[in-house]
Amino acid sequence: MTNLLHQRCQALEGHAPMSPEAIHDHLAQLSGWQLANGAIEKTFSFRNYHETMGFVNALAWIANTEDHHPELRVFYDRCVVRFDTHSVGGISINDFICAAKADALVAFVA
C-alpha cells in the first residue's frame, strides 16, 4: 500500500465507505488505532497540558489543511482522536491519511 503519510485527502462525496477488509488492512499499517463504533480512534498521551494543547493545535492545522476534521476529546495529559468520514457514512482512506499524520505529530510535540 501507498505510504499514508504522504497522501492528501480527497473529496469523497458519493463514494462508499471502506469495506471491513480494507479497514482491517489499513489499521495494520498504524500503531494504536482501533475500530470504535464506526470510526477509528486513538488516545495520545502527553506529560502535561502544554504538550497536549501543542498536539491539538498542530492537529487542527493539519485537519484544516486536509479539510478532514476529527472529533477530539481533550484532557490535561491526553487527547482522544476519532476519525470517520461523514460524506461516505463510514470510514474512508481520508481517515487513515489523517491518522498517519496525527501519529507523525507526536515526535514534534512530545
Q: Mind listing the pLDDT tens digit for each residue in 52-70?
A: 999 999 999 999 999 999 9
CATH number at residue 70: 3.30.1360.20
The tally of CA atoms less than 13 A away on the side-chain side of residue 3 is 4
> In this structure, is residue 105 part of a structural domain?
yes
Burial annotation 78-108 (CB, 10 A radius, 16+ → b, else e): ebebbbbbeebebbbbbbbbbbbbbbebeee
Q: What is the pLDDT of residue 106?
A: 87
Residue 84 lies in a domain: yes
Residue 9 domain flag: no
Q: How many CA atoms lie within 13 A of 23 on its CB side?
A: 21
Q: Is residue 13 part of a domain?
A: no
Instruction: Examine residue 69 and state whether it is found in any structural domain, yes or no.
Output: yes
Tens of pLDDT, residues 31-45: 999 999 999 999 999
DSSP helix/strand/coil, 77:
coil
pLDDT at 97 over 80: yes
Mean pLDDT of 44-51: 95
**Position 56 in a domain:** yes
Give the residue-averaged pLDDT of 81-97. Answer: 96
- Domain limits for position 92: 19-109
In a domain, 1, yes or no: no
